[in-house]
Amino acid sequence: MRRRLVCGNWKMNGTEEESAALAASLLPLLAPLGDRLEIALAPPFTSLRTVGEKIQGSRIQLAAQDLHPASHGAFTGEISGRMLTALHVRYVIVGHSERRRLFRETNEEIGRKAAGAAAAGLVPILCVGEDEAERLDGRTLGVIEEQLLAGIARLPSTGGDTLVVAYEPVWAIGTGRTATPDQAIEAHRAIRSCLARRAGEDAAASIRILYGGSVTPETATAMLSRPDIDGALVGGASLVAESFAAITRAAAS
Ligand code: PEP
């Protein structure tokens, strides 16, 4: 049985003080849900320590939004997996479409980041998803498969405790246009069958596949009541405590 996961991606929002305030308002709302599903918060790097301190002792996990594949070295401005595990980070988002699009990250580089995460003892949340032109061209499943295979290519093992995949159609991220549950399910099934071919049925059955893309309290129930959808990666709505809590409650029920 896969334990559902809801992860809030705060992106580049919030000073350390603002992040602490958001974590403090989330804590009483999320704490009662912690025995029913897994919850993770991905604040900016500069807020990881403070948010980590706020959620210490709760069942909420800490996540990071990116990492460099290497453990250390002359990479000015970068953050390694080793630095993240030292802050008690458990998950790290890799291959987010904003990183792919705005920072030109390639499938190959994302595969190296996922491997760097695994080497540091982190669980990568590997984001995959088609853009609008690719969907209109009928290339959705091919694009997802290509991103997925490159993303996991260097992982030493692929199973429920070592990898999370997030299906995030690019056209749905931050646009208010959520995929329909049927569109998401088609992609999730394709992802799981690709994982099964690569890692075996048992490993594939244990990996959580999240949906991300304009999830709101209004759309969460329809999406998260479907058994193929193991949780959500939430951007904009994760910055409002009551909205993120409502989405998390929908995933828990
Ligand atoms: C995201 O950034 O991963 C995301 C899903 O954003 P939003 O919920 O704002 O679409």
pLDDT in tens, 188-212: 999 999 999 999 999 999 999 999 9
pLDDT value of residue 170: 96
Which residue's CA is the nearest one to ligand 1's atom 4? 235
The pLDDT tens digits of the residues spanning 25-47 come to 999 999 999 899 999 999 999 99
Sorted by sequence, the CB contacts under 8 Å of residue 253 that are 6+ apart come out as none
pLDDT for 135? 96
Instruction: Please state the atom number of ligand 1 nearest to the C-alpha of residue 212.
Output: 5
Closest residue by Cα to residue 41 from 84, 14, 10, 76: 10
* 147-172 pLDDT, tens digit each: 999 999 999 988 878 999 999 999 99
Total domains present in the chain: 1
CA of 147 from ligand 1 middle (Å) equals 18
- Number of the ligand 1 atom closest to the C-alpha atom of 96: 3
Ligand 1 centre to CA of 74 (Å) is 31
Nearest residue CA, atom 1 of ligand 1?
Answer: 235
Residue 191 near residue 165 (C-beta atoms within 8 A): yes
pLDDT of residue 81: 98
Length of the chain (residues): 253
What's the pLDDT at 157?
Answer: 84
Q: Which residue has the higher pLDDT, 239 or 176?
A: 239
Q: Whose CA is closest to atom 6 on ligand 1? A: 235
Q: What's the CA-to-centroid distance between 82 and ligand 1, angstroms?
A: 26
User: What does the alpha-carbon distance between residue 93 and residue 125 come to, in Å, rounded to a whole number?
Assistant: 5
Q: What are the tokens at 222?
A: 């329809």
The residue whose CA has the least distance to atom 3 of ligand 1 is: 235
167-180 mean pLDDT: 94
- Which of 223, 234, 243, 248 is the pocket-test mutation for ligand 1 (most atoms within 8 Å of CB)? 234
pLDDT tens across 50-90, in order? 999 999 999 999 999 999 999 999 999 999 999 999 999 99
Please say whether the beta carbons of 81 and 115 come within 8 A: no
Range of the domain at 73: 5-252
Q: Which residues line ligand 1 (CB under 6 A)?
A: 9, 168, 173-174, 212-215, 233-237
| Averaged pLDDT score across all residues of the chain | 96
Tell me what the mean pLDDT of segment 98-104 comes to.
97
The total of other beta-carbon atoms located within 10 Å of residue 138's CB is 8
Report residue 88 as tokens: 């008690």
CA distance 134 to 97: 14
Ligand 1 site-directed mutation target among 7, 164, 214, most atoms within 8 Å of CB: 214
Measured from the Cα of 172, ligand 1's closest atom is: 10
- Distance between Cα 214 and ligand 1 center (Å): 6
Give the CATH number for residue 215: 3.20.20.70
What's the 130 CA to ligand 1 centre distance in angstroms?
14
Active site residue ranges: 96, 168
Mean pLDDT on 232-238 = 97
Q: Identify whether the C-beta of residue 244 lies closer than 8 Å to the C-beta of residue 237.
A: yes
